[in-house]
Amino acid sequence: MFVDEVKIHVKAGAGGAGCASFRREAHVPKGGPDGGDGGGGGDVVLEADTALSTLLDFHYKRHFKAPRGTHGKGGQRDGATGEDLVLKVPAGTLVRDAESGEAIGDLTTDGQRLVVARGGGGGRGNRHFVTSTRRAPTFAELGEPGEERWVELELKLLADAALVGLPSVGKSSLIARISAARPKIGDYPFTTLVPNLGVATSGEYSFVVADVPGLIEGASEGAGLGHAFLRHIERTALILHVVDLSGGFEDRDPLKDIAVINGELSAHAEELADRPQIVVGNKVDAEGAAARSERVAAWCEEQERPYFAVSAVTGEGIGPMLRAVAAQVRASREAAASAAPAFEAEYVHVASDDREITVQRAMDGGWDVTGRQVERLVVITDMNNEEAVAYLQRRLARLGVEERLKAAGAVDGDAVHIGPVSFEFEAHDDGV
Ligand SMILES: Nc1nc2c(ncn2[C@@H]2O[C@H](COP(=O)(O)OP(=O)(O)OP(=O)(O)O)[C@@H](O)[C@H]2O)c(=O)[nH]1
Ligand SMILES: [Mg+2]
């Protein structure tokens, strides 16, 4: 298992401000309010994509911001909505809130979506604030800021393909050539003692390749180190069967070696014999390798198995081999996805009780009032407009903020902080 973890900062778009304006027409001295609403800000959304297998991109770019909504205009013209920012993550990504550590979603199926930061609502234009006593409201709401937070993404990976072969055929050299993995490479058998995983890319497609310790004859019965690793191979959709073309070992011959490995695979589990397999003739740069390669190629053609002659040292033949691996991995993933039950895209919101209000002593001896809804009301209020402030006060009173403050022991003149704004507490007589 290969664990990939990143921490990213996501910020949704702010809502646009509502507009305070009045209709102006020839011959109409004072038209009614006609300010349009601000557009909502874009959400930041994570979307599972089975074509990806790594969170690598997020190691380079960590801050993501969705666009804001635009402001409303006169003539009842509403602002435009900010587009959602959709970030693709590999299927199998677990999402946590970085601060609380709480899991907020598990993206497992292709196309599944999770909103990690909600865009701010647009402010309403002044035409929404008309009442029987307020015919011409001079204020509109500001846009609400977008949510922002740090989230942790964690990916647990199983390999898509496994490099299998006798010791010293160059499995570790190959993974080092095609990925950022840097395993130990040596000219003695059993250089690799634990599996290494690397992420390889071909075009737009990336996949995970496992380099496992070499297998030897009798591995299925426990010989060498291979036995434990045959279990890993069991779960990979594709086997990259690596064979040495250099003739570096006297007792080895590529076709005999292939037979030994295939014998061990099927002795371990019969279905491994039918697992898609690509034969990779490595060390084609070595003297005499070309002739051996031709024999392997002829045999593979007879067996209808794909064959690629490569050199982990010079890079020869690596590109075509990776393209074939990518195509096979893609086919396997698509088969697995279509075998899974049909999935409907879903948005998972983080539930929080918006109406909850908390009153606490502030550091400065005043009071801190917190709660999603009250804080929202404050940030969308244009504090430079008296009419807007009076409207806010009535709404806060209706939500019970004043009562809560009184009950907590607030007296006239105390400072009250809500979000970024501070007021002076002034109790109204009961019933007002
Ligand atoms: N000439 C040549 N030598 C290679 C090539 N690939 C690997 N070698 C050499 O072969 C030896 C074994 O390479 P490794 O990559 O450690 O082989 P391995 O299959 O991982 O071996 P184990 O981990 O023991 O199973 C090293 O000395 C490499 O330098 C190649 O393409 N050409
Ligand atoms: Mg190795």
Pairing of the two strands 358-361 and 307-309: unpaired
How many angstroms does the Cα of residue 177 sit away from the middle of ligand 2?
Answer: 13
What separation in Å is there between the alpha carbon of 244 and the centre of ligand 1? 9
Ligand nearest to the CA of 188: 1
Of the two residues 235 and 47, the one the predictor is more confident about is: 47
Is the shortest distance between the CB of 191 and ligand 1 below 6 Å?
Answer: yes
Q: Average the pLDDT over each of 17-21, 103-107, 236-240 and give the range with the smallest value.
A: 103-107
Of ligand 1's atoms, which has the minimum distance to the CA of residue 185? Answer: 16
pLDDT tens readout for residues 210-237: 888 888 888 888 777 666 677 778 778 8
pLDDT at 175 over 90: yes
Q: With a 6 A CB cut-off, is 71 part of the ligand 1 pocket?
A: no
Which uninterrupted H or E stretch holds 333? helix 318-339
If you take atom 21 of ligand 1, which residue's CA is the nearest one? 168
Strand partners, 242: 280
Sign of CA dihedral 391, 394, 142, 72: negative
- Collect all residues with Cβ–Cβ distance below 8 Å to 69 and sequence separation of at least 6: 13, 14, 15, 16, 38, 39, 40, 41, 42, 79, 80, 81, 82, 119, 120, 122, 143
Helix, strand or coil for residue 76?
coil
Q: What is the pLDDT of residue 9?
A: 97
What tokens does 183 get? 């395993």
Give the span between the Cα atoms of 409 and 122, in whole angstroms: 35
Which residue ranges make up each domain of the chain?
2-157, 161-339, 358-424
**pLDDT-derived band at 17, boundaries 50, 70, 90:** very high
Tell me, using a 6 A CB cutoff, whether residue 196 lines ligand 1: no
pLDDT digits (tens, 9 = 90+) for 68-77: 999 999 999 9
249 lines ligand 1 (CB under 6 A): no
Q: Is pLDDT above 90 for 339?
A: no
Q: Give the distance, in angstroms, between the CA of residue 154 and the centroid of all CA atoms in the same chain.
A: 9
Q: Is 313 in the pocket of ligand 1 (CB under 6 A)?
A: yes
Ligand positioned closest to the Cα atom of 187 = 1
What's 95-164 look like in SS3?
EEECCCCCEEEEECCCCCEEEEECCCCCCCCHHHHCCCCCCCCCCCCCCCCCCEEEEEEEEEECCCEEEE
Averaged pLDDT, 11-40? 90
Tally Cβ neighbours within 10 Å of residue 368: 16
CA 261 – CA 278 distance, rounded (Å): 13
Q: How far is it, in rounded angstroms, from Cα 294 to Cα 45? A: 51
Does the Cβ of 213 fall within 6 Å of ligand 1? yes
CA–centroid distance, 161 to ligand 2, in Å, is: 15
Judge whether residue 91 has pLDDT over 70.
yes
CATH of segment(s) 161-339: 3.40.50.300
Quick one: which of 304, 305, 311 has its CA closest to 290? 311
Kindly give, in sequence order, each residue whose CB lies less than 8 Å from that of residue 23, ignoring residues fewer than 6 positions away.
31, 32, 33, 34, 75
Q: Indicate whether 144 pLDDT > 80.
A: yes
Protein residue closest via CA to atom 32 of ligand 1:
283
Report the percentage of the chain scoring pLDDT > 70: 93
* CA 169 to ligand 1 center in whole angstroms: 5
> Residue 135 class from Cβ within 10 Å (0-12 exposed, 13-18 middle, 19+ buried)?
exposed
pLDDT attached to residue 233: 80
Q: What is the mean pLDDT of residues 308-333?
A: 95
Q: Mean pLDDT score of the chain, rounded to an integer? A: 88
Predicted local distance difference test score (pLDDT) of residue 430: 53
Could you tell me what percent of the chain has a pLDDT over 90? 56
Binned at pLDDT 50, 70 and 90, residue 322 comes out as very high
Provide mean pLDDT across the span 335-351: 53
Name all contacts of 200-203 with Cβ < 8 Å and 24+ positions apart: 200/322, 200/325, 201/322, 202/319, 202/322, 202/323, 202/325, 202/326, 203/323, 203/326
Q: Which residue has the tokens 């921490």?
A: 7
199 against 308, higher pLDDT: 308
Residue nearest to atom 10 of ligand 1 (CA): 170
Using pLDDT thresholds of 50, 70 and 90, give the confidence band for residue 194: confident
Nearest to 199 by CA among 191, 211, 190: 211
Report whether pLDDT(79) > 60. Answer: yes
Q: What pLDDT, on a 0 to 100 scale, did the predictor assign at position 429? A: 60
Q: Ligand 1 within 6 A of 168 CB? A: yes
Q: State the pLDDT confidence band at 15, using cuts at 50, 70 and 90.
A: very high
Mean pLDDT, to the nearest integer, of 230-259? 88
The whole-number pLDDT of residue 342 equals 43
Q: Which CATH superfamily is domain 358-424 in?
A: GTP-binding protein OBG, C-terminal domain (3.30.300.350)
Distance 229 CA to ligand 1 centre (A): 19
Ligand 1 pocket test, pick from 164, 166, 168 with the greatest ligand atom count within 8 Å of Cβ, gives 168
Q: For 56-66, what is the mean pLDDT?
A: 90
| pLDDT score for 352 | 55
Tell me if 170 CB under 6 Å of ligand 1.
yes
Contact between residue 70 and residue 14 where contact means Cβ atoms under 8 Å apart: no
Read off the pLDDT of each residue in 190-195 and give the average, rounded to a whole number.
76
Q: Of ligand 1's atoms, which has the minimum distance to the CA of residue 242?
A: 19
Per-residue pLDDT at 354 = 73
Architecture of 2-157 per CATH? Distorted Sandwich (2.70)
Calculate mean pLDDT across residues 66-90: 96
Distant-in-sequence, close-in-space partners of 382: CB < 8 Å, separation ≥ 6: 139, 140, 141, 142, 388
Whether residue 241 has its Cβ less than 6 Å from ligand 1? no
C-beta of 189 in contact with ligand 1 (< 6 A)? yes
Contact 427 CB / ligand 1 (< 6 Å): no
Q: What is the pLDDT of residue 285?
A: 97
Average pLDDT over residues 40-52: 92
Q: Say whether pLDDT at 345 is over 60.
A: no
Q: Could you tell me if the CB of 247 is within 6 A of ligand 1?
A: no
Residue 2 confidence (pLDDT): 55
pLDDT at 11 over 80: yes
185 within ligand 1 shell (Cβ under 6 A) = yes
pLDDT of residue 190: 77
Q: Report the pLDDT value the prediction gives residue 182, as an integer from 0 to 100.
A: 83
Among 178, 179, 185, which residue has the most ligand 1 atoms within 8 Å of its CB, making it the best to mutate? 185
Which helix (H) or strand (E) covers residue 388, if one does?
helix 386-398
User: What is the whole-number distance in angstroms between the Cα of residue 214 and the centre of ligand 1?
Assistant: 11
Does residue 310 contact residue 290 with C-beta atoms inside 8 Å? no
Q: Residue 323 pLDDT > 80, yes or no?
A: yes
pLDDT at 356 over 50: yes
Q: Check residues 281 and 228 and name the one with the higher pLDDT.
A: 281
Report which of residues 356 and 430 the model is more confident about: 356
pLDDT value at residue 432: 40
| Average pLDDT over every residue of 162-179 | 94
| pLDDT surpasses 70 at 199 | yes
pLDDT at 349 over 80: no
* pLDDT for the residue numbered 174: 97
Q: Residue 186 Cα, ligand 1 centroid: separation in angstroms?
A: 6
Q: Is the CB of 268 under 6 A from ligand 1?
A: no
Whether the predicted pLDDT of 402 surpasses 80: yes
The 10 Å Cβ neighbour count of residue 222 is 10
